[in-house]
Chain A
Amino acid sequence: MSESEKVNRRGFLKYAATTVGGLIVGGVIGHLLAPRAPAEISTVMVTEVKTTTKTVTQTVSPTPTAPPAAIRILGTEGPVPPAVEKNINKFGEVANADVTYESFPWTGFHEKGTMSLTLPGKGMYDAVVINCDWCFPAWHEYLEPLDEYVKRDNFDTSDFLPNAIKHFCMWPKGMKVKPTGLEEGELLGLPHLSDAMFFVIRKDLLEKAGCRLPTMDDPYTLEEFKEVCKKLSNPPEIYGLGFYHQEEGGMPDTWTALYFAIGGEKARWFNEDLTAAINNEYAKQAAEFLKDFYDEGITPLYQIEQAWGWLEENFKAGKLAAIHSWGLGALSLKDPSYNPLWDKTELVLPPVGPTGTPLTYYAGWSWGIPKNAPNKELAWEFLKWITAPEQQEAHAIQCPPTRISVLNKLGKEREYYNWLRWVAERARVLPAIPQLLEVNRIVFTQLTRYWRGEIDVDTAFETAEDEINSLMRRLGYIS
């Protein structure tokens, strides 16, 4: 080896050793000095932080007045619209508390919540809003059990919709998955918002086509519903039906609802032993039913690339005659300030399948207290306050309630609340599994390939079932 080669080699080794050594030392120092806080994800930002401070009137006293207690709440825009935020701020006045409410953007909320709840030591939030399907199954180990609080304060939970309590707030101890979604267990939250998927339709086009509006006593059948959408369709100017078919973060909502509608109680995602159960005739019939919508031009195929919000945007722009949407979003389309076609828009009941199950499923949000919450007692007071009948009634128009008494009262003025109660009692719910989003994406990927004509329906569901079982095996749910 020449002298210059020896020099180069020494230099190279010196450089390599310095790099690796520097990384290790830097890593150790960083680990020791790093504050106990989650890393920020660069793609999301906190949109706003609101603080309400109660002004304390100083009375004459030899000892200083204790500062107000503080509570920090994490929410996101869907389940915490402006009307609910108003109530959150009011809690500060009522409880003489400093309330800090953080509204985190929808995309990224799940990750933000996960990182906050899993912090060791004292956490950042006292109360968190929790989605029943894609948050609760993953977070249940990190939530404070509330049975003792309920018992101690004699708090009555019987006014809440039973399926809301079971699906949004209960988890059996030691169980990793709730195959039907309605298994009872420890109470880990209080139900906040009820929702189900409804259809929003252009009633002017419906009248023009000579079609009727469905009612609770006489809903559409699935075939009648398809005919109606076909009559409203005039592609490419206007499509008869739009629904969410996005793979990212998505639930194959419409397909799932159809699967439930066609199969009823037999439409399962998992068997008792937690192996996949979706490779069946009902799942295939649901897929074939929706394929007709794509093949006949009733639904545009490009909807698979669309993100949240595109349904409402295209409906408002007159590109879609009907959409399958969550009630929360659907209600806003009746608002004149939001939808220029508001007076031509009607919210309609979902059609009913051969088993009597409606083409929808029931879901919602709850409020929970993280186990690492700094102020659990105040958080419990907040939960009782925000889910009380008065508050649920006050924010009902933007946030459908979970209390039976409130639904009954509001149902006298607006049919929608009666529908919601009707759906809550009849509709299916999703299985509760922490990796539900992944399971959905497996199904969605195969559905996309089938709807695009790349594979047949049997291959789609065989592949989906195999992949789900492989996933369940990898995660240790099955052997």
Chain B
Amino acid sequence: MPEVRLSGLEKRFGSVVAVTEVDLIVRDGEYVTILGPSGCGKTTLIKMISGIWEPSKGTITIDGKDMNGVPIEERDLGYVFQNIALFPHLNIFENVAYGPRVKVLGKEYIEEIPRRYLGMVNLLDRMGLFPSELAGGEQQKVSLSRALASGSKLLLLDEPLSALDARVRMDLRYELRRLAKDLNLTVIHVTHDQEEAMSVSDRIVLMRNGRIVEISSPETMYKQPGTLFSANFIGETNLLEGTVVGTGGTTTVRLRDGSNLTLNSSGFHHGGAVVVSVRPENVYPADEGIPVRVSRTTFMGSYVRVLAKTEGNDDLEFDVPAKQNKCYREGDELWLQVNGNMAILFIAPEEGVMEAIKLE
């Protein structure tokens, strides 16, 4: 059963360090996404795992075996690329039968295996068509069946949904997760899309500048992110700078507008510069609290996002259900409360907040 271990992995191109100090264990049957902005090293990492590129330093073991010098075709893994790579002159059935045929399995397998995997992605009725006759999402499902038909229990997905329409992507990501779990596959999936990562993964590996920033479950990364960068990357958040004015079991922070917030965090020093991160769904209007003035409202479907400014000129966003009777308008003045259990406190970064969360 495939467990993938990376230790001390590094890749250099000349003087450029693309990936460095990567240690990661992907457990058997686990679905792990490698998430990060363009240029963070995630593609380099998956190319090393697959054997397309050799690491400059460090080791990769799959199922306990050292992969040093082992070429891609001997690593026993399925690989799906962003750019759909089907054979244009073979029909759908033949494309999926390619793997079992290369493996020189018996004739009955060459008939049965493609049917089994095409059935799993609901494409049995398209078997006789050529790739160009299918839509993008369907083509990518064929690539997936082909990767699975090789019989490998380790699946590498390199931005498999990025070339597809947003709506198709949404449907396919649930499908990916369902298939992986039904077949008990170990999956390593590279993506720049935080929503995609959140809905398919058991664990997310967040990368930046060639290094791993944080490894945690989607829920932990969203609710208890370990760094300012993760807090902002994994979903939208309000970042408010302030100073610690009270410590003990809780921490009280004075914001730039002079109002105080008490949060369920500890370990911060009195007088220290800090940043509060709180997601818009954890900020709500109340009879007292931080005074703000509404500067914009945006309809988001099931909720309305309201952007407001504090007297300290900080932006503070909050959500109200779209069906609620109360409509906010530009210029409205109100008070906001922050749910102290759902807000995270960070020590203010030396380089400044903007630099710490920069996406590119």
Is B a genuine binding partner of A? Answer: no
What residues make up the interface of B, taking CB atoms closer than 8 Å to A? none
